Amino acid sequence: MEITEVRVVLRDSPDKKLKAYATVTFDNAFVVRNIKVIEGSSGLFIAMPSRKIKQPCPKCNFKNELRSKFCNQCGAQLPFAPRPIGQETSGNAQLEHKDIAHPITQSFREYLQKRVLEAYEQEKTKGPSSPGYSDIR
């Protein structure tokens, strides 16, 4: 599988960890949107698109976000869902989110991250003053 196009949209808040969003096209036939470029403690990395995990209300069966206190449909109090031991900090979002699309092998993940971060660096050097620059949100 070959990456045929990478488009990056920079975020303009310099003090935030989220630096950009990327859209990646594979083999001119399949696209993955909302890949995030994030500044971590050991440098830049990518995070795949994800969604919040939902839990059903025991009274009306409406699906609410995990760890909600009350049902958004009927207002009933939801059962407490404790975090696993050692997971009390907010830095473990993977327990509350599930990837929509993700690489299967480590080698492809490294290839994807390398291509997205290269496109991010090119977009950063291009900047808003260059012709053809668009800041689509």
Q: What is the CATH number of the domain that holds 14?
A: 3.30.1120.40
pTM score above 0.75 = no
104 and 41 within one domain: yes
Residue-level pLDDT at 96: 77
Largest CA distance in the chain: 57
- Determine, yes or no, domain membership for 136: no
pLDDT(131) > 60: no
- What's the chain's average pLDDT? 84
Distance of CA 69 to the CA centre of its chain: 25
Range(s) of the domain holding residue 79: 51-84+94-99
pLDDT(14) > 90: no
105 and 40 within one domain: yes
57 and 38 within one domain: no
Number of domains in the chain: 2
Closest CA relative to residue 44, chosen from 104, 135, 116, 137: 116
**What pairs with residue 7 in β-bridges?**
23
CA 130 – CA 78 distance, rounded (Å): 52
- Can you tell me which residue has the tokens 């496109």? 119
Q: Which residue has the higher pLDDT, 11 or 84?
A: 11
Residue-level pLDDT at 83: 60
